[in-house]
């Protein structure tokens, strides 16, 4: 299997067989950031190249910042799984996936080393320059699959990346402000408004007016990315104000494809 580096930042090539063609007419307009959830980068690359596992990604970033490319950017990697963003359910066709070596929540949710974050920043900027990816299209795996995924998690430094020009970010509202707090079991127009706002930002959420477990998982995903100081699934004043400000800062809506 032939693979040529798309980026001059790539140190190693390790082709994965777990690829196919993007859906006809689709180009990557999303950049999905993951953590591997495995103990070593060697094991992560092994899994991502195993045809039995049916998973892959475009790039892997090791703890020391070394970058391995596994899938060409013009191909469809199998990294997002069952996912949705702004109504699009074929996220693999719409995105490029970066796996960041980190053992994950099951291993105590370790921090991401500075040298690794610098490599992620540089790779993201390089991908953005060569593809039509807007800041708001740079997402966590948990954003597009909130019912299944936590990665890259609340310890991932989204604000640092945003200062470097990677991603959509505003400083979250302070905790403890006045206002209603919605939680699982609540019903009514306030819940429907919450669901409408989360959907307006891009999350896949039913606008039922009932704060169910699925809604709670979406709120948790939003908090992991945009209000990580407290990830509890409760739609408090801080979460609501942060979401409203992010929506106000979005450019005019554009289709994914």
Q: How far apart are CA 179 and CA 240, in angstroms?
A: 9
Arithmetic mean of pLDDT, 46-64: 98
pLDDT of 173: 95
Q: What is the pLDDT of residues 150-179, one digit of tens each?
A: 999 999 999 999 999 999 999 999 998 777
**Mean predicted lDDT score pLDDT of the chain:** 96
Q: Please state the domain extents for the chain.
A: 12-163, 172-257
pLDDT of res. 176: 83
User: Could you tell me the pTM of the whole model?
Assistant: 0.96
- Under 8 Å between Cβ of 109 and 37: no
Report the pLDDT averaged over residues 181-197: 97
**132 confidence band (pLDDT: 50, 70, 90):** confident
Quickly state the pLDDT bin for 257 (edges 50, 70, 90).
Answer: very low
Question: Please, are residues 88 and 19 in contact by the beta-carbon 8 Å criterion?
Answer: no
Q: How far is CA 169 from CA 40, 117, 136, 249, in A?
A: 30, 16, 8, 9
Structure confidence by residue, pLDDT tens digits, 75-125: 999 999 999 999 999 999 999 999 999 999 999 999 999 999 999 999 999
Q: Is 99 marked active-site? A: yes
- pLDDT (average), residues 11-25: 96
Tokens matching residue 210: 């009932």
Q: Which fold has domain 12-163?
A: Lysozyme-like (3.40.80)
Tens of pLDDT, residues 212-247: 999 999 999 999 999 999 999 999 999 999 999 999
Q: How confident is the model at residue 255 (pLDDT cuts 50, 70, 90)?
A: very low
Three-state secondary structure string covering the chain: CCCCCCCCCCCEECCCCCEEECCCCCCCCEEEEEECCCCCHHHHHHHHCCCCCCCCCCEEECCCCCEEECCCCCEEECCCCCCCECCECCHHHHEEEEEECCCCHHHCCCCCCHHHHHHHHHHHHHHHHHCCCCHHHEEEHHHHCCCCCCCCCCCCCHHHHHHCCCCCCCCCCCCCCCCCCECCCCECHHHHHHHHHHHHHCCCCCCCCECCHHHHHHHHHHHHHHCCCCCCCCECHHHHHHHHHHHHCCCCCCCCC
| Active-site choice (88, 99, 154, 173) | 99
Q: Tell which CATH classification among 3.10.580.10, 3.40.50.300, 1.20.1730.10, 1.10.101.10 matches the domain 172-257.
A: 1.10.101.10
The answer to whether the CB of 73 falls within 8 A of the CB of 58 is yes
């Amino acid at each position: 299997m032939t693979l040529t580096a798309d980026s001059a930042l790539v140190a190693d090539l390790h082709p994965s067989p777990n690829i196919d063609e993007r859906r006809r007419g689709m180009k990557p307009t999303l950049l999905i950031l993951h953590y591997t959830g495995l103990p070593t980068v060697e094991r992560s690359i092994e899994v991502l190249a195993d045809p039995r596992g049916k998973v892959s990604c475009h790039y892997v970033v090791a703890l020391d910042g070394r970058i391995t490319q596994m899938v060409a950017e013009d191909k469809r990697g199998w990294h997002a799984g069952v996912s949705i963003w702004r109504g699009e359910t074929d996220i693999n066709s719409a995105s490029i996936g970066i796996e960041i070596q980190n053992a994950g929540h099951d291993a105590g949710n370790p921090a991401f080393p500075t040298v690794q974050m610098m490599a992620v920043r540089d790779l993201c900027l390089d991908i953005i320059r060569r593809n039509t990816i807007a800041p708001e299209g740079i997402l966590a795996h948990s954003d597009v699959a909130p019912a299944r995924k936590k990665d890259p998690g609340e310890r991932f430094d989204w604000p640092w990346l945003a200062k470097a020009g990677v991603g959509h970010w505003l400083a979250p509202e302070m905790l403890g402000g006045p206002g209603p707090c919605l939680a699982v079991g609540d019903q009514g127009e306030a819940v429907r408004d919450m669901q409408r706002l989360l959907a307006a930002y891009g999350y896949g959420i039913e606008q039922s007016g009932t704060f169910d477990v699925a809604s709670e998982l979406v709120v948790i995903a939003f908090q992991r990315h945009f209000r990580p100081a407290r990830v509890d699934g409760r739609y408090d004043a801080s979460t609501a104000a942060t979401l409203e400000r992010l929506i106000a800062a979005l450019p005019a809506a554009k289709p994914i494809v």
